[in-house]
Amino acid sequence: MALALEGKTAAVTGAASGIGLACTQALLAAGARVVLIDRDADALAAQCAGLGPAALPLVVDLLDAAQCAAMVPRVLALTGVLDIFHANAGSYVGGDLVDADSTAIDRMLQLNINVVMKNVHDVLPHMIARGSGDILVTSSLAAHFPTPWEPVYASSKWAIHCFVQTVRRQVFKHGIRVGSISPGPVASALLADWPAEKLAEAKAAGSLLDPAEVAEVVLFMLTRPRGMTIRDVVLMPTQFDL
């Protein structure tokens, strides 16, 4: 029996841990070849060692402008083709705005917004030429609700939600599907900056998603018939009250 994504090639940013790693594992299990993109060379090598020959590591620091610009050409040099691009890499700044470090704000906005826009910009010519492709962006529940404990992070996700939905309208005529996945809190390193009391409360209540649960939804989005675009999925733990 053929696997759902057999013969497809994907690239995932922020793939060495968390949601990116879980989505990579799901794509591989569905038969895809996957380029894992991350700045952490050691973590990337360790993960790929156990994932098999269809997992191709690519060390890229997306906050380095030259490396970011070279990412898509390097992916295509490895694979020759790209069917799926998952812009997953991101960072987090939480807490009161008055307490935030301005350098951390700049870094987060660069990674969560500018890098995503540039990566999608660079992927589009290849997919347009082929007349097919899937682009997914990891967004957040914070893109849909003005979360009071994370104004900087939430604002970055509101911006990228608008970007996803406007680009989707531009490129569907080329056979390209664009969508985002907006999970609530996920048990990953991204929550390291959450207020301690908020994180402890979430853990105690069982109101955190597992990265593998997010990956299941990503796989669902990618394996729908080509005539169907799932433009955004909001998912949250049942016990999460927002």
pLDDT digits (tens, 9 = 90+) for 89-115: 999 998 899 999 999 999 999 999 999
Tell me, yes or no, if 153 is annotated catalytic: yes
As a whole number of angstroms, the distance between CA 31 and CA 221 comes to 15
In CATH, the number for domain 9-235 is 3.40.50.720
Model confidence pLDDT, tens digit, residues 144-199 = 988 888 999 999 999 999 999 999 999 999 999 999 999 988 877 666 666 677 76
The whole-model pTM stands at: 0.92
Query: Of the listed 153, 158, 163, 194, which one is catalytic?
Result: 153
Please state the domain extents for the chain. Answer: 9-235
Q: Which two tokens stand for residue 97?
A: 């705005």
Q: Which two tokens stand for residue 5?
A: 């994504």
Q: Which two tokens stand for residue 118?
A: 């540039």
Q: How far is Cα of residue 5 from the mean position of the Cα atoms in its chain?
A: 18
